[in-house]
Structure 1
Amino acid sequence: MIKPDLIDYVRTMIQGDYAANESVGARLDAEGWDGFPRFLAALFFVAVDRRFGETADRAGVIRFVADLRAQYDGGPEIGAEDAESLILSTIDPSLDYAISQEMIGRIQAATVQKIFTDEALADAELEALLTEAAQLASRN
């Protein structure tokens, strides 16, 4: 089961409610972030599938990653080749990658935020996507 605070953390991040996001983040720092990597991976899958589907081409992914890195300028570095590889391997699971866990987390978080923010999702849509990802992450 994914903790509600993990869902709240992502919701407030995507909605740009930074005060609430910091508050939820502080609670998670105190209580623990258990389950977050699994939830983030599920969100990443949902976001990439939503943005690219199963038929994305490499050029589209490269353009997306270039936009992502430009938008993320000033934050922790995201490797272009790493981001492209991770996204493409989500679209085509036969592709392999060798990326550090830290970089994977950065790429996943930035990608989720960009895709869901760019879409300017209505609250109900965002809730449905967060619920879908929480259900995916809760599977054994």
Structure 2
Amino acid sequence: MTDRTAYLELIRELVNGDAEAYRERCAELDEKGWDELGIVVGAAFFLAARQRRVTFQDNAAIIRYVADTRAEMADTSFDLDPAVAEKLLAATTTGDTDELDGVDPNLIIESEMLLLWKLLRPLSADELSRFLAEVDSLSAQWAEEE
């Protein structure tokens, strides 16, 4: 069984805005490896977006959400590719991932992480812990299916 704790904690540190812990975790993962990061982040994004899917009822709502997210990041060193972010959110409501074919997998992971920052911030510490336990379970399931 794979230990996904470092990936899950990376998400927690991102959501909590703990820049120091996030940098330390990235350094740890640089040494250990990032092998299953895509699966874990993908599972987290899938679950978080599905829980909020009513927010993404149509393209206009998705565009507004991405614009709001980008505006909140204005004073950070991060930026979100709006076209990729919109395609990711649309895919969670339609199940159609064809629009993401040909998009760099690293850009998808980066976009999912930045969207997770916004999607998960409203959660309490306990809610985030329960959410990450769900992510771990879904990640394990997805890893077995690969």
Q: TM-score, normalised by structure 2?
A: 0.84
Partner of 1:64: 65
The farther-off stretch of 129-138 and 48-57 is 48-57
2:103 counterpart of 1:138: no
Matches within 5 A, 1:1-140: 1-53=2-54, 56-73=57-74, 74-94=76-96, 96-97=98-99, 98=101, 99-117=103-121, 119=122, 121-139=123-141, 140=144
Contact persistence 1:9–1:24 (CA under 8 A): yes
Distance 2:93 2:53 in 1: 8
Q: Give the SS at the match of 1:78.
A: coil
Distance 2:47 2:3 in 1: 16
1:21-62 CA-partner distances (Å, limit 9, x unpaired)? 222221111111121110000011011112224972221111
> For residue 125 of structure 1, what is the amino acid of its counterpart?
E
Distance 2:10 2:114 in 1: 14
> For residue 81 of structure 2, what is the amino acid of its counterpart?
G
Structure 1 residue ranges (4+ consecutive) displaced by more than 6 angstroms after TM superposition: none
Distance 2:56 2:79 in 1: 28
Contact persistence 1:65–1:80 (CA under 8 A): yes
- Cα RMSD (Å): 1.9
- Number of residue pairs the alignment of both structures matches: 138
> For residue 103 of structure 1, what is the amino acid of its counterpart?
L
Give 1:123 shift.
1.0
> For residue 124 of structure 2, what is the amino acid of its counterpart?
A
- Percent of aligned pairs with the same residue? 27
Structure 1: gaps of 5 or more residues:
none
Contact persistence 1:42–1:133 (CA under 8 A): yes
Contact persistence 1:14–1:116 (CA under 8 A): yes
Give 1:6 shift.
1.2
